Structure 1
Amino acid sequence: MTGLRIEERPDRLVVTLDRPEKRNAIDADLIGELHAVCAELEANPRLLLLTGGAEGIFAGGADIAQLRERGRLDALAAINQAAFARIRALPMPTVAAVDGPALGGGAELAYACDLRVCTDRAVFGQPEVRLGILAGAGATYRLPALIGEARAKELLFTGRRVDAEEALRIGLVNRVVAEPAELLATAHALLDEIAKGSALALRLTKLAVDSPPAAHPQLDLLSQAVLFEDEEKHRRMTEFLERRRSR
């Protein structure tokens, strides 16, 4: 891969955007590589940490030179949207570690992850209307779900940028670190906490949370029925009871 660097760990994949000369702009080749990452994580489910490689930049958005030449058929092909939707639907939890600007498609890529950790110099924004288009890769529905409809509309209508402090206050990110050097360690620590849970319970919890309201409570009941018969559930509960008895 040329636009991504990938580190494989036993329980997770660390994927780093690696187009520093283009401020990690998201082009068609990078989208193809993200699809390949998704295919790997669908076949072999693990946690995902997604970050930007160039210091002080997550992703400056879509590649404007490519975007300018796209026509209506390209829009209908959902080039970026399909890849981000696939990231959103990955079986196991995902974390975006954001340092510096995450703008346009870069912000939408971060929204596609389940959780977000950023540095205090991170900036999120949707400038699409100022370029004559809309935020068509997920922001129109993921952003309202994250921060509420009124706040999302303000950001989508104005293109105003949100700094790290505001992002934390409005629920756009889960953690903010003061030093860029702490970013990946903080993201990994969050994933370490997640990894303490049962893999099957994590998968079914994510599936339940991401499902439409009409799927509940039936989906929850069915998922719990599956987990109640899982050997991992029995082992974990037995260990819990033994620890409590030994105190």
Structure 2
Amino acid sequence: MPEPLVPEPLIVERHADRVVATLDRPETRNAIDQATIDALHELCAELEAEPRLLVLTGAGGVFASGADIAELKERTAADARAGINTSAFRRIRALPMPVIAAIDGYALGGGAELAYAADLRIATPAVKIGNPETGLGIIAAAGATWRLPQIVGEARAAEMLLTGRILDADTALAWGLVSAIHPADELLAAAHALADRIAANDPLATRHTKSALLTPPEAHPAIELELQAELFESPEKHRRMAAFLERRRR
């Protein structure tokens, strides 16, 4: 008797300049399990080899309700040290081209940390985002303790992580955790509009800008000077600047 088919936890839609990846585990509100992590690693390998924009979203009005608690409950100290979710989220953060998280509904725990790994975050009025891990006897160990302070500041990050506070849409926007709020039926279109604006720019300049943004403070401004030096010699820089000057003369 054939084995029953297991639904894919990640639906991947590929375009020439971008990929849309949708978390799709409705029975667990898109909780992130090992299969989801494996699928994210596969997607990262693809986007490392062929850089494109990535839009991350969730199906069914939920981004990701967290890590899969049934799996998490059985994990050991060795699993913690292996950084199962951390390794995938760090890889997403380091992708050559920008990552946009389009968040509807819950983005909690590991789901929030996946969103924090994106370069840009937009959401719906129904968003609920935060890290309640300490209430479950663990910490947010897949990026929140170092990425969240960079996004919202140390004091606000400390409040979220130490109290388990879950932010609603208005607070997430006011704190800069998301950059815009859109109705649920317009969220993906808004993500594509952001991607369109990015895709209209020079891909190499975009990649170099992301590289500079991810570089530790002590490496600035040397990193920008080297990246700019490469761009100053690129044919695309000359083509775009010549076109700009031509338009100005008209």
Code of the aligned partner of 2:243: E
**Out of 198, 201, 204, which is 1:200 matched to?**
204
Per the alignment, in what secondary structure is the counterpart of residue 113 of structure 2?
Answer: helix
Per the alignment, in what secondary structure is the counterpart of residue 66 of structure 2?
Answer: coil
Q: In the alignment, is residue 41 of structure 1 matched against residue 50 of structure 2?
A: no
Code of the aligned partner of 1:124: I
Partner of 1:165: 170
Q: Deviations over 1:178-205 (max 9, x none)?
A: x210100111101111111100000000
Per the alignment, in what secondary structure is the counterpart of residue 65 of structure 2?
Answer: coil
In 1, Cα distance between equivalents of 2:159 and 2:49? 39
Partner of 1:84: 89
Runs of 4+ in 1 over 6 A off after TM superposition: none
In 1, Cα distance between equivalents of 2:191 and 2:110? 21
Q: TM-score, normalised by structure 2?
A: 0.97
Q: In the alignment, is residue 110 of structure 1 matched against residue 120 of structure 2?
A: no
Q: Deviations over 1:146-197 (max 9, x none)?
A: 00000000000010110011001010001101x2101001111011111111
In 2, Cα distance between equivalents of 1:91 and 1:171? 23
Code of the aligned partner of 1:53: A
Q: Deviations over 1:122-163 (max 9, x none)?
A: 010100000000000000000000000000000000101100
Per the alignment, in what secondary structure is the counterpart of residue 50 of structure 1?
Answer: strand
In 2, Cα distance between equivalents of 1:209 and 1:65? 36
Q: In the alignment, is residue 239 of structure 1 matched against residue 243 of structure 2?
A: yes
In 2, Cα distance between equivalents of 1:163 and 1:136? 22
In 2, Cα distance between equivalents of 1:64 and 1:237? 53
Partner of 1:3: 9
Partner of 2:65: 60
In 1, Cα distance between equivalents of 2:127 and 2:106? 5
In 2, Cα distance between equivalents of 1:194 and 1:163? 27
How far 1:69 moved relative to its partner?
0.6
1:137-216 pair list within 5 angstroms:
137-177=142-182, 179-216=183-220
Per the alignment, in what secondary structure is the counterpart of residue 135 of structure 1?
Answer: coil
In 2, Cα distance between equivalents of 1:41 and 1:164? 30
Code of the aligned partner of 1:46: R
Code of the aligned partner of 2:170: E
Code of the aligned partner of 1:227: L
Per the alignment, in what secondary structure is the counterpart of residue 5 of structure 1?
Answer: strand
- Where does the alignment leave 5 or more consecutive residues of structure 1 unmatched? none
Q: In the alignment, is residue 122 of structure 1 matched against residue 116 of structure 2?
A: no
In 1, Cα distance between equivalents of 2:63 and 2:16? 25
**Out of 1, 13, 20, which is 1:14 matched to?**
20
Code of the aligned partner of 1:201: A
Code of the aligned partner of 1:198: D
In 1, Cα distance between equivalents of 2:42 and 2:59? 19
Code of the aligned partner of 2:237: K
Report sequence identity in percent: 61
Code of the aligned partner of 1:51: T
In 2, Cα distance between equivalents of 1:217 and 1:117? 30
In 2, Cα distance between equivalents of 1:226 and 1:79? 36
**Out of 132, 135, 139, which is 1:134 matched to?**
139
How far 1:66 moved relative to its partner?
0.5
Partner of 1:99: 104
Code of the aligned partner of 2:21: V
Code of the aligned partner of 1:238: A
Code of the aligned partner of 1:204: H
Per the alignment, in what secondary structure is the counterpart of residue 112 of structure 2?
Answer: helix
Cα root mean square deviation, aligned:
0.7
